[in-house]
Amino acid sequence: MPIQRIGVIGYGEVGRTFCAGLRPQVQALGAWDLTFADPLCRESQQAHARDAKVRACASMADVCAGADLLISAVTASNTLEVAEEAARHLHPGTVFLDLNSASPGTKQQACACIEAAGGRYVEAGVMTSVPPHGIQVPMLLGGGTAADLAPMLTAWGMVATVVSDRIGVASAIKMCRSVMIKGLEALVIESYTAARAYGVEDDMIPTLQETFPGIDWPQVGAYFFRRVVQHGQRRAEEMRESANTVREAGFEPSMAMAIAGKQQWMADQAKAGAFKGIDAKNSPWQAYADRLIAQRKG
């Protein structure tokens, strides 16, 4: 499967990371993001792309033109919309690698759009945070083209494992895992902040250490708070797709929706400036909890 021209849809953290890792591997690499056309951030986004030797495309049609491989790296809520738009512009035979955290049903709808237009759809379940792994982040692939694409991705240094030729299997694994991982984040934030408000964190956390001695609970707390503050909006959207995953399985997604609510609440707090000035690299979890407590008292 010769691939020399790649188009990346979405130039956020994930899109930028994949552009940086794949740029040396191919003849041409372009990216398209709505922010490229936004007067408020167009200049900085396009400058970043230029510095990274990535062509900042003018539109979806532009990024699709001539691409052998399209990589979709947008927010979960935009998964299907982006696939539908790309399907109107891609040329037959283009491989469409969907990295987005969406439910099996959403991925199946996206696949139907791409393949109806003559494209070749591959779903990917990205199994952990892209930083610090970069393009070596573990991914599960699914779809009829997955086995053809995987050797090329591996040759580029990516860690891609084919799990099924059916669309929906890789995303089911990913999204069911997300209920657990994002749920742990939500539980830690709620538990730790309440314990700090009562002044009992030094008594409560050691009991967790006794029950689960293999986990450094203060360190995990700092990591969870930091990641949710940075990416709560994206996590909330992912959890709504996780809720769809549970719903598609025939169950009420009561836990997944509660987790989405907590992630969204943290995203809203961050957007309102509650954590402004906190050193994201070095601050303990207490710094974040204190800001939430102060907001409550205010």
Each residue of 171-207: pLDDT tens digit?
999 999 999 999 999 999 999 999 999 999 999 999 9
Quote the pLDDT of residue 56.
96
> Order of strands, edge to edge, in the sheet holding 28-32?
55-56, 28-32, 5-9, 69-72, 95-98, 120-126, 138-142, 159-164
**Domain extent for 24:** 5-167
Mean per-residue pLDDT, 143-147: 97
Considering the domain architecture, whether residues 141 and 208 belong to the same structural domain is answered as no
pLDDT band at 11 (very low <50, low <70, confident <90, very high): very high
Considering the domain architecture, whether residues 61 and 163 belong to the same structural domain is answered as yes
Considering the domain architecture, whether residues 30 and 100 belong to the same structural domain is answered as yes
C-alpha span between 282 and 169 (Å, rounded): 38
How large is the greatest C-alpha to C-alpha distance in the chain, in angstroms? 62
Considering the domain architecture, whether residues 182 and 155 belong to the same structural domain is answered as no
C-alpha span between 290 and 193 (Å, rounded): 8
Considering the domain architecture, whether residues 228 and 288 belong to the same structural domain is answered as yes
pTM (two decimals) = 0.92
Quote the pLDDT of residue 1.
65
Considering the domain architecture, whether residues 145 and 36 belong to the same structural domain is answered as yes
Considering the domain architecture, whether residues 142 and 237 belong to the same structural domain is answered as no
Q: What is the DSSP letter of 30?
A: E
Q: How many domains does the chain have?
A: 2
Quote the pLDDT of residue 298.
55
Angle of CA points 202, 228, 271, to nearest 5°: 115
Considering the domain architecture, whether residues 109 and 216 belong to the same structural domain is answered as no
Considering the domain architecture, whether residues 154 and 58 belong to the same structural domain is answered as yes
Considering the domain architecture, whether residues 113 and 208 belong to the same structural domain is answered as no
Mean per-residue pLDDT, 141-153: 97
pLDDT band at 145 (very low <50, low <70, confident <90, very high): very high
Mean per-residue pLDDT, 107-126: 98
Q: Percentage of the chain surpassing pLDDT 70?
A: 99
Considering the domain architecture, whether residues 19 and 158 belong to the same structural domain is answered as yes
In the chain, alpha helices (H):
13-22, 42-51, 60-64, 79-87, 104-116, 130-133, 146-155, 169-198, 201-211, 217-248, 254-271, 285-297
Average pLDDT, the chain: 96
Strand partners, 30: 7, 55
pLDDT at 297 exceeding the cut of 80: no
Q: Percentage of the chain surpassing pLDDT 90?
A: 96
Mean per-residue pLDDT, 32-48: 94
